[in-house]
Structure formats: C-alpha cells, structure tokens
C-alpha cells in the first residue's frame, strides 16, 4: 500500500487552522458555539471529538481519511461501544451540523435530518441498559446491516438473519457475528457468553450449522429455515433471560 500523503497537503485549510477541531469551528460558521471540540494530540489534523450533553452517548468521533479528502463520523453508546450513527462526507460544514445535533442530544432521526449524510445503524438508544432492549437493538442493527450489504451473497446472509430472528427462542438471545457467522449469547456486550451452534451463510447459497466457529459438523442445508431449525434443537434447555455482560 502506498504511503499516504502528508495531511497538510490533503487538508491545507485544516493545516492553516492548526487542527481539525479549529477547522470544524471555522466551517461551522458559529453553529458550534461553546460546544467542546477536541483534537487528537497525536494527529490533530486528522482526528477530533465532540462531547455530548447526554450521559448515554460517547463523544462523536470525527476522522479525516488518509488517501482522499473526506471525513467520517462515528457516535457510540458508552456501555457497549457500538455505533448508533456513522457516515462519511466531503463537506466539513455538514460534519459540524451533525456534531451540534449529537452534542445537543437530538434524537437520532433528527441528527440525520440536520445532516443527511448521517447513517443510522439501526440500533437505538437504551438509556437504562436493559439487557432485553439491548438484545432487541442489536437484532435491529443486524437486520438493517444485512439489508444494506452489497456483497454477491448478501441475499443469502439476509435470509439467515431473518430466519433466525423469526424464531422466538433465538430472538430472545443476544446476536452477534464473527466473520459473518451468526452466533448467540446469553449476555450482552462487552462480555459475551456464547451459547448454541454457529450459523453460516455460504457463497454457494447453502447454510451451515456447526458446534464450533465456522464449522458445519452438524449439517449443511439448502434453506435458512432448515439450518435455523437445527440450531434451535441444539440449544441447551433452561435458558433464562439475557443478562448484562459487564
């Protein structure tokens, strides 16, 4: 991979301001007011954060791309560290609008209305860290992610996610993926407790079920519903409600 250009060459206007935080304020044309904006000490031209007034939101992370002129944002919850919003744009003034809305505690949909480049991940905010709601939020995010994929096999993967979500016993668990393999936990992040088989959606349109990670020792099937049904049969009995993994 070639060496990225000097940030001062790619972002001369940011370099002239001295930091991404200062450039953001300049582009904001006053909309950030007294909002705390902080640049990275190690890479002030490339990274900045904007604090939120809400305790259940981490600071919005703003990052400049290394090889082309563009910025990305990422806003997470503090308990799991998962993205509620993200997005990318070549307009720093739009980043400032998103940052202001995130800081002010605007609802997620309102943040996107303020700055249309903002992408909602599908997860929703769970103010009290209720584990059942966290599991529901993660299912919602996973289903949206599957619907937005552009890989050749995305329809196979989406069918697997939807078939698993349709099973009440699996929907009551906390879902997560590893290398696009669907797995389940009896606890939420940040400390998962894996339970039951692993489900995989294969590039040839088939579905695998295995005891271990990415294995198919329990079987390979033509439909997602068959694979999910077998996974349900191999769940241990007596599973209780999902609990916090932290």
Instruction: Tell me which of 63, 93, 120 is where a domain ends.
Output: 120
Determine the pLDDT at residue 213. Answer: 74
Looking at the structure, tell me whether residues 41 and 80 fall in a common domain. Answer: yes
Determine the pLDDT at residue 7. Answer: 95
Total structural domains within the chain: 2
Looking at the structure, tell me whether residues 208 and 112 fall in a common domain. Answer: no
What whole-number percentage of the chain has pLDDT above 70? 100
- Mean per-residue pLDDT for 50-57? 96
| 126 assigned to some structural domain | no
Determine the pLDDT at residue 151. Answer: 78
The pLDDT confidence band at residue 150, using thresholds 50, 70 and 90, is: confident
| 18 assigned to some structural domain | yes
| 125 assigned to some structural domain | no
Q: Are 115 and 98 in contact (CB under 8 A)?
A: yes
| 63 assigned to some structural domain | yes
| 29 assigned to some structural domain | yes
Q: How far apart are CA 99 and CA 50, in angstroms?
A: 6
The mean of the pLDDT values for the chain is 95
Looking at the structure, tell me whether residues 55 and 113 fall in a common domain. Answer: yes
* pLDDT higher than threshold 80 for residue 1: no
- Mean per-residue pLDDT for 192-213? 93
* pLDDT higher than threshold 90 for residue 212: no
Structural domain boundaries enclosing 146? 131-245
Task: Please state the three-class secondary structure of 192-213 as a single string.
Answer: CCEEEEEEEECCCCCEEEECCC
Determine the pLDDT at residue 246. Answer: 81
Q: Are 51 and 59 in contact (CB under 8 A)?
A: yes
Query: Angle at the Cα of 26 (from 41 to 13), degrees rounded to 5?
Result: 70
The pLDDT confidence band at residue 221, using thresholds 50, 70 and 90, is: very high
| 179 assigned to some structural domain | yes
Determine the pLDDT at residue 216. Answer: 82
Determine the pLDDT at residue 179. Answer: 79
Looking at the structure, tell me whether residues 53 and 149 fall in a common domain. Answer: no
Looking at the structure, tell me whether residues 64 and 108 fall in a common domain. Answer: yes
Instruction: Tell me which of 120, 149, 164 is where a domain ends.
Output: 120
- Mean per-residue pLDDT for 178-200? 94
Among all chains, which residue has been given the structure tokens 């904001």?
28
| 2 assigned to some structural domain | no
| 236 assigned to some structural domain | yes
Determine the pLDDT at residue 180. Answer: 79
Instruction: Tell me which of 94, 120, 146 is where a domain ends.
Output: 120
- Mean per-residue pLDDT for 39-46? 95
Q: How far apart are CA 129 and CA 217, in angstroms?
A: 36
């Amino acid at each position: 991979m070639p060496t990225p250009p000097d940030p001062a060459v790619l972002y001369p206007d940011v370099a002239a301001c001295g930091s991404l935080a200062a450039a953001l304020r300049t582009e904001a044309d006053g909309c950030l007011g007294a909002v705390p904006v902080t640049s990275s000490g190690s890479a002030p031209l490339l990274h900045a954060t904007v604090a939120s007034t809400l305790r259940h939101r981490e600071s919005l992370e703003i990052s400049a791309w290394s090889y082309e002129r563009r910025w990305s944002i990422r806003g997470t919850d503090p308990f799991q560290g998962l993205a509620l919003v993200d997005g990318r744009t070549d307009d720093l003034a739009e980043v400032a609008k998103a940052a202001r809305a995130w800081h002010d505690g605007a609802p997620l949909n309102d943040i996107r209305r303020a700055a249309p480049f903002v992408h909602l991940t599908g997860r929703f905010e769970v103010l009290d860290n209720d584990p059942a709601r966290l599991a529901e939020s993660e299912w919602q995010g996973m289903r949206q992610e599957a619907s937005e994929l552009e890989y050749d096999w995305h329809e196979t993967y989406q069918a697997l996610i939807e078939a698993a979500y349709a099973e009440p016993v699996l929907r009551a668990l906390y879902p997560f993926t590893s290398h696009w393999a669907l797995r389940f936990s009896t606890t939420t992040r940040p400390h998962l407790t894996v339970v039951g088989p692993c489900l995989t959606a294969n590039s040839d349109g088939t579905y695998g079920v295995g005891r271990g990670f990415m294995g198919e020792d329990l079987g390979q099937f033509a439909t997602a519903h068959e694979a999910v049904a077998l996974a349900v049969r191999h769940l241990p009995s007596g599973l209780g409600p999902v609990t916090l993994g932290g």
